[in-house]
Amino acid sequence: MSVSDDALCGLLDMLCPMHVVLDAGGRVVHAGPTLRNVFAQQPLSGRRFLEVFELRRPRGIVDMAGLRACHGTRLKLRHRERPRIGLNGALFALPDAPDLGSGAVVNLSFGISVVEAVRDFNLTGKDFAVTDPTTEMLYLIEAKSAAMEASRKLNLRLQGARRAAEEQALTDTLTGLGNRRALDRVLDRLMQSEQDFALMHLDLDFFKQVNDTLGHVAGDHVLQVAAQRMLSVLRAEDLIVRVGGDEFVLILVGLTARSRLDETAQRLIARLQEPIDHGGQDCRISGSIGATLSCGYETPDPAQMLADADLALYAAKARGRGCHVLYEPRLCDSGPGQGT
Amino acid sequence: MHGLVNRAIERFVRDTYGREVWIDTIRRLDLGYTEFEAMLLYEPQVTGRVLAAVAARLERGRDDLLEDIGTYLVSNPQSDALRRLLRFSGVDFVDFLHSLDDLPERARLAVTDLDLPSLELTDHDDGWYCLHVGLPDGHDLRFGPVMMGVLRAMADDYGALVLMEYRGIAESHEMIGIHLLEEAFAHGRAFDLGARGHPS
């Protein structure tokens, strides 16, 4: 190469680090620094351009004369080997001259595949020309993805709140309360959105007696009234699920204060203890509650919280009817699992 | 104030001091919620109240706390997204310093309604720089200490050895003196352009 060719290559290396210089035979005589990085395993020098890259548009070009005729048009190329990455190109047909005469310069870019290319070829900021906005574009893609992800999570929480409302109207045909599946979905959502909540396990007291002495119809009526009364104590965003015959799980969203939990439990029990009229007869029931707060856990786990609330319920029952107990680790010492 | 700012304070307290400390602190403010949404806007005075409550709870000075939040934002593995976004700004620490002038604009490109104070870097001799951090309108929050923390963590990230001093407030901005002692003092953390960070 003459001095002026060196100068040309230096200029191109700096401004277009993804260029190749082709000789009259269509072979690569020089590749820009970024392409040299990308093709470090199989250097381009000396290889025929059209053997390395498939020209997808314009089609049907097989030789250097054809390539030179593409001067100034948009080229669509694809690397023939894996990863078969797509490239955009622009070709400048060099004027006839002693060395590179009838050769060409092709400048390449990754186009829309740039994100994959940067990842696959481990490109760095230094692989792009200083004036090339690719790094800024990668920044934008990543910044927007992060912002989008945050919005997606917000949407998820908002959608969850809506679904929670729908779920309350669903399911258990007798009481109109949610069922076990609704509970799992709500717990999942609360875990995902990292919202705090209180979980209560509530068991109706004396319900079996009502059922046994007054019959199933009275029992069903009592369940319906009990459900309505519990709902009247809770807020719209809370959830009540009937998990068994006379067992309920209550989720109180956003509740972290022990005092508010106590107060809610007392109101629930008081409402349940009001006599229920069935065909002129007073049915009297009560409720026992075991509760636990998600903010009491390093990493709340729904299964653990259900088990702990259950343990607290067991302790509440042991204290007599109409009591509520907040789970504490020391309950484990006297819990049913310990065989006492 | 943008939820991202409030959420950053929340994540800092939760990840550093635990959930209980956060819940205990925020509940006393009686805001009606215990968590901030990153993509919603809040009344500007909420941020000041939260900061004051956290500083009181932790018995820390406010500037001290803000600086720690700045460091946390960059160095916490859970918020790697921000570190990556900052690393896009410069190939080395000096390049990064010079890109700070564009930071508010970069932030706005990512999140349109995120309004950061103006930043202006002046370049003095012998590795001395001065960063002017604008005082925001409409609230008395100061970003200077946060920027101190961010710069400290970013210097670490690039492996640069830097001394910094907070020079107080002059007219409408805060000033931070930066002395770059050695640009390649240690091996910085790797930055892979294509390895998309996992946003937290």
**Tell me, what DSSP letter sits at residue A94?**
P
What domain range includes position B163? 83-182
Structural domain contains residue B133: yes
Q: What is the CATH number of domain A3-132?
A: 3.30.450.260
A-chain CB neighbours of B40 within 8 Å are 154
Same domain, residue pair B87 and B52 = no
Q: What is the pTM of this model?
A: 0.59
Beta-strand (E) ranges in A86-142?
86-93, 104-109
**pLDDT value at position B189?**
80
In angstroms, the CA B94 to CA B91 distance is 8
User: Considering only CB atoms, which chain A residues are within 8 Å of B33?
Assistant: 254
User: Which chain B residues are Cβ-neighbours of A257 within 8 angstroms?
Assistant: 27
Give the number of C-alpha atoms closer than 13 A to the C-alpha of residue A180, restricted to the C-beta side.
Answer: 6
The residue ranges of every structural domain in chain A are: 3-132, 160-338
CA nearest B20 in A: which residue? Answer: A295
- CA closest to B102 among chain A residues: A136
In chain B, residues with a C-beta closer than 8 Å to the C-beta of A126 are 91
Q: Is residue B189 domain-resident?
A: no
Closest CA of chain A from B194, distance in Å: 4
With H, G, I as helix, E, B as strand and everything else as coil, classify residue B90. Answer: coil
Partner-chain contact B196 A142, CB within 8 Å: yes
Nearest chain B residue to A293 by CA: give it: B20
B77 within some domain:
no
Residue in A143, A153, A196 closest to B85 by CB: A143
Amino acid A169: pLDDT: 56
Degrees to nearest 5, angle at CA A260 with A254 and A261: 80
Position B121 in a domain: yes
Cα A123 from Cα A127, distance rounded (Å): 6
Per-residue pLDDT of chain B (200 residues; tens, 9 = 90+): 889 899 999 999 999 999 999 999 999 998 888 999 888 889 888 999 999 999 999 999 999 999 999 999 999 887 788 888 888 888 889 999 999 999 999 899 888 888 889 999 999 988 999 999 999 877 778 899 999 999 999 999 999 999 999 999 988 899 999 999 988 777 878 777 776 644 33
This model of the complex carries an ipTM of 0.73
pLDDT given for residue A339 in this prediction: 36
Contact A146 B197 (CB under 8 A): yes
Token couple for A93: 């047909």
Min Cα–Cα distance to chain A from B20, Å = 7
Q: Which phi-psi region, left, alpha or beta, contains residue A111 (left: φ > 0; alpha: ψ -120 to 50)?
A: left
Q: Which of B23, B33, B39 sits opposite A151 (nearest CB)?
A: B39
- Comparing alpha-carbon positions, the chain B residue that sits nearest to A152 is B39
Q: Looking at the complex, does the CB of residue B27 fall below 8 Å from at least one CB of chain A?
A: yes
* B27–A256 C-beta distance less than 8 A: yes
A196, B23: Cβ pair inside 8 Å?
yes
Give the 3-state DSSP-derived string for A157-214, with helices as H, strands as E and coil as C. Answer: HHHHHHHHHHHHHCCCCCCCCECHHHHHHHHHHHHHCCCCEEEEEEEEECHHHHHHHH
Q: Which of A5, A246, A308, A310 is catalytic?
A: A246
Burial class (CB in 10 A: 0-12, 13-18, 19+), A102: middle
Position A171 scores a pLDDT of: 64
Are B107 and B177 found together in one domain?
Answer: yes
Compute the CA torsion angle A111, A116, A121, A126 (nearest 10 deg): 60
Which whole-number Å values give the CA distances from B128 to B70, B94, B118, in the listed order?
21, 11, 20
Q: Is A212 one of the catalytic residues? A: no
Q: Is B192 exposed, middle or buried (0-12, 13-18, 19+ CB in 10 A)?
A: middle
Same-domain status, B102 and B52: no
Q: Are A118 and B194 within 8 A, CB to CB?
A: yes
pLDDT score, position A310: 95
Say if B65 falls within a structural domain: no
- Are B106 and B175 part of one and the same domain? yes
| pLDDT digits 0-9 by tens, B7-41 | 999 999 999 999 999 999 999 998 888 999 888 88
- Counted domains in chain B: 2
Q: Identify the CATH class of A160-338.
A: alpha beta
For residue range A193-238, what is the model confidence (pLDDT) as tens digits? 889 999 999 999 999 988 888 888 899 999 999 999 999 999 988 9
Residue B200 counted as domain residue: no
Q: Which of B35, B84, B89 sits opposite A142 (nearest CB)?
A: B84
Q: Is A11 helix (H, G, I), strand (E, B) or coil?
A: helix
DSSP H/E element including B180? strand B173-182
Successive 10-residue mean pLDDT values, chain A, 340 residues:
73 95 93 93 93 93 93 93 88 78 90 86 87 88 86 85 67 75 87 92 92 89 93 90 91 93 95 91 92 93 94 93 90 54
Touching A: B residues 84-113, CB under 8 Å: 84-85, 88-89, 91, 106, 109-111
Compute the count of residue pairs across chains A and B with CB atoms less than 8 Å apart: 81
User: Residue written as tokens 């640069």?
Assistant: B160
Instruction: Say which CATH number the domain at B110 has.
Output: 3.90.1520.10
Alpha carbons within 13 A on the beta-carbon side of B30: 0
Please judge whether B109 and A143 are an interchain contact, meaning their C-beta atoms are less than 8 angstroms apart. yes
Q: Would an 8 Å CB–CB cutoff place B189 in contact with chain A? A: no
Q: In what order do the strands lie in the sheet with B173-182?
A: B119-123, B128-134, B173-182, B161-170
